[in-house]
Amino acid sequence: MSFQAPLSSHSRSPNDRQSPQGLSGLGFSSNQAGGFFEKERTLPMYKDKPYFTPRRTAPRRRWKGIASLLALCALFLFWYNKSSLPSLQSSDSKDKGLQLWKWVQTLENEVSPEKADWDARRERVRDTFSVSFDAYENEAWGFDQYSPSSQNHKNMVEGGMGWMIVDSLDTLILMNLTSQLRHARQWISTSLRYDQDHDVNTFETTIRMLGGLLSAHYLSNQYPHLAPIADDDVGAAGEDLYIEKATDLADRLLGAFESNSGIPFSSVNLNRSLGIRSHSDGGAASTAEATTVQLEFKYLAKLTGEAEYWRVVEKVMEAVDKQHPEDGLVPIFIHPDSGEFQTKNIRLGSRGDSYYEYLIKQYLQTSEQEPIYKELWDESIQGIRKHLLAFTKNAQLMVLGERPRGLSKDLLGKMDHLVCFMPGTIALGATGGQLLSKARQSPEWSQQHEEEILISRELMKTCWATYLNTATGLAPEISHFVLDEKPVMMADKYADPATSATAAPYELQGISLPLSQQADRSEPWRKDIDIHPMDRHNLQRPETAESLFYMYRITGDEIYREWGWEMFKSFVRHTAIIETVTPSVPGTVSPPYERIKSFTSIGNVEAIPPEKRDRMESFWLSETLKYFYLLFSDRDIISLEEHVFNTEAHPLPRFKLGGELKTGWERKHQASNMEGV
């Protein structure tokens, strides 16, 4: 499921023209986030506010007065912005599209500099975000889906869910885009309502909307000087608007968890807080969707002190584990009525992916105080190693394949683009987000950790190869890989250091890949990748950029930034929508010129120019461009040691357990099913 949105014209403040320059320019400090939940923090926790009371049944009334006042202020500001500075806004916006387009035209003859200017590269990403967001603002503001070529737009529910706006909030804050953020807040405070008599997807609404609001709440309190907004509590910019909306939404989402098993229904009617079975798949839920809601609800529980948010999502994990997934690998459907898995199909692509992601991230979110999630993660990694990791026939690229008919049946050498979140997540699991050189100094560092780093490097290279291999330099939605008739499996070739003390160390297998896509198209590694006609599209997905960000932060290896830069350039070149503008200045004749108007997903990564699909997904704004921006930023901006990113790239702080907020269950069976791996 995917949805999107764009903007209308608004004025820009001088702040917007000051690009954040380096760490100090943004005012980040690596130790700030650590204090968010500590005693000495100056901001009150939301739950400590005198007017806070638990809710669940009563969608907020006590805020009516303040909300109306805010709405009036917002309306005034909106009118003021629109009426006083329209020309400044539009010329600034057009300039960025023009500048980007001019820059794109220089890329063909680009000579790689001896020393890359990462600040300048980061600014290109920020400009790309601005052009994308401004187009949305101008053509589809407030709508959930945006088609930038046709300028069409659509809502998921009447009045809109704020799909594009809410998903973009924390990127706007991180990029210090003040006037766009102000406009977004105006829309949220005056137009966003959740009393919609319509079903919405439980998972997507949680990761994009709840995650977006919570991250904006955190960032606006933790870094109030970024995209500063002063229309709320003094000293707590943005605090109440975001958290009010988040609690309202979460209370309505709770109905999705009222199933026999605790596994959430795929959809929920927000007006009635009523869970709705999937209309397909016999009512089964996707396993990844059911198990990718914990970071958001647990953080909300921490903020509000309401343990119910915690309990419902913790229960999901218990229900899944009760099914005793073999070797830590879960089939991709599970039924909310029975709590049972519905298929044997195992994959880390669609419907499987973020189950694994949220195992390790739950462990990290609660400051490594919940060993159960590390145990589950470790089991899964061993299961992946045993059943899913293989090498390609010609170039020994490492592939994380699928077992569509169960673990005892054939391996399929196929990887969805979605699987490419794994290299970075494996490196995150091995080091906890620390720099590798520091993690290696820990007495707990083992041969197994070392192997995980090598696996993450190998898979990263495979994901990069899927970009490098195509005419556009962009990966298809799905890649198939050529394996030997009897696939060469990682587990057959190398003993597992987790279970064998004498295991010979695994060494990097694959060939080194060239950096430029112009390289010899007959190289043998290219024969290992096969793209089926139905899978040639590219939705501007984030997973490979995401992993590059983790790999660079963790290993410090510049190659990952360089690969990211190549990918970013390909996105700008081939997913841009160009428009011709005829300037109309009274009394003068100016020639028409071209500029980039917006960006869109594309239909075929092998065609130049590629056919445009006429859709900008919200994760282009919330994830892909954010990960590029952070990849090119200093490594302590949103430090990996102090934060976890939810699966939609919304950063949330790590915190400690306490009171009723604890792991509420124990495993009924232990890791014995891993014996003999």
Q: What share of the chain is helix, strand, coil (3-state, %, to 5)?
A: 45, 10, 45
Q: Which is nearer to ligand DMJ, 400 or 418 (CB)?
A: 418
For 96-158, the three-class secondary structure string (H helix, E strand, C coil) is HHHHHHHHHHHHHHCCCCCCCCHHHHHHHHHHHHHHHHHHHHHHHCCCCEEECCCCEEECCCC
Q: Which is nearer to ligand DMJ, 418 or 559 (CB)?
A: 418
Q: How far is the CB of 481 from ligand DMJ (least distance, A)?
A: 20
Q: How far is the CB of 206 from ligand DMJ (least distance, A)?
A: 11
Q: How far is the CB of 475 from ligand DMJ (least distance, A)?
A: 12
Q: Which is nearer to ligand DMJ, 126 or 541 (CB)?
A: 541
Q: Which is nearer to ligand DMJ, 237 or 359 (CB)?
A: 359
Phi-psi region of 642 (alpha: psi -120 to 50; beta: other; left: phi over 0): alpha
Exposure b/e, 527-537, CB count within 10 A at least 16 = b: ebbebeeebbb
Q: How far is the CB of 648 from ligand DMJ (least distance, A)?
A: 5
Task: In whole angstroms, give the CA distance from residue 339 to residue 268.
Answer: 18
- Closest residue to ligand DMJ, judged by C-beta, is 647
Q: Which is nearer to ligand DMJ, 576 or 649 (CB)?
A: 649
For residue 643, give both structure tokens. 């934060």
**Angle between helices 543-555 and 558-575 in degrees, nearest 10:** 160
| Contact status, residue 572 vs residue 564, Cβ threshold 8 Å | no
Phi-psi region of 483 (alpha: psi -120 to 50; beta: other; left: phi over 0): beta
| 477 assigned to active site | yes
Q: Which is nearer to ligand DMJ, 223 or 549 (CB)?
A: 549
Among 559, 542, 568, 548, which Cα is nearest to 631's?
A: 548
Task: In whole angstroms, give the CA distance from residue 7 to residue 241.
Answer: 20
**Hey, what amino acid is at 508?**
L
Q: Which is nearer to ligand DMJ, 229 or 317 (CB)?
A: 317
Task: In whole angstroms, give the CA distance from residue 635 to residue 550.
Answer: 10
Return the sign of the alpha-carbon dihedral for residues 28, 33, 36, 38.
negative
| Contact status, residue 326 vs residue 248, Cβ threshold 8 Å | no
| Rg value, the chain, Cα | 24
Q: How far is the CB of 622 from ligand DMJ (least distance, A)?
A: 8
Task: In whole angstroms, give the CA distance from residue 509 to residue 500.
Answer: 21
Pairing relationship of beta strands 274-276 and 267-269 according to DSSP bridges: antiparallel
Q: Which is nearer to ligand DMJ, 293 or 301 (CB)?
A: 293
Cα angle 135, 208, 453 (rounded to 5 degrees) comes to: 105
Q: How far is the CB of 184 from ligand DMJ (least distance, A)?
A: 19
Neighbours of 425 (CB within 10 A): 27
Cα angle 271, 277, 282 (rounded to 5 degrees) comes to: 165
Q: How far is the CB of 350 from ligand DMJ (least distance, A)?
A: 8
Longest dimension (CA), the chain: 83
User: Of these residues, 137, 306, 458, 477, which one is catalytic?
Assistant: 477
Exposure b/e, 192-212, CB count within 10 A at least 16 = b: bbbebeebbbbbbbbbbbbbb
Q: How far is the CB of 416 from ligand DMJ (least distance, A)?
A: 9
Q: How far is the CB of 288 from ligand DMJ (least distance, A)?
A: 7
Among 308, 284, 302, which Cα is nearest to 362's?
A: 302
Q: How far is the CB of 354 from ligand DMJ (least distance, A)?
A: 4
Task: In whole angstroms, give the CA distance from residue 43 to residue 12.
Answer: 29
For residue 473, give both structure tokens. 């330099």
Q: How far is the CB of 510 from ligand DMJ (least distance, A)?
A: 25
Q: Which is nearer to ligand DMJ, 94 or 414 (CB)?
A: 414
For residue 242, give both structure tokens. 């975001």
Contact positions toward ligand DMJ, by CB under 6 A? 354, 418, 541-542, 619, 647-648
DSSP 10-76: ----HHHHS---HHHHHT--TTTGGGTTSTT-SSPPGGGSTT----SSS---TTHHHHHHHHHHHHH
Q: How far is the CB of 478 from ligand DMJ (least distance, A)?
A: 13
| Contact status, residue 625 vs residue 598, Cβ threshold 8 Å | no
The beta strands (E) that lie in 173-292 are given as 199-201, 267-269, 274-276, 285-286
| Contact status, residue 248 vs residue 188, Cβ threshold 8 Å | no
Q: Which is nearer to ligand DMJ, 263 or 418 (CB)?
A: 418
Q: Which is nearer to ligand DMJ, 28 or 377 (CB)?
A: 377
Q: Which is nearer to ligand DMJ, 497 or 542 (CB)?
A: 542
Q: Catalytic residue positions?
A: 477
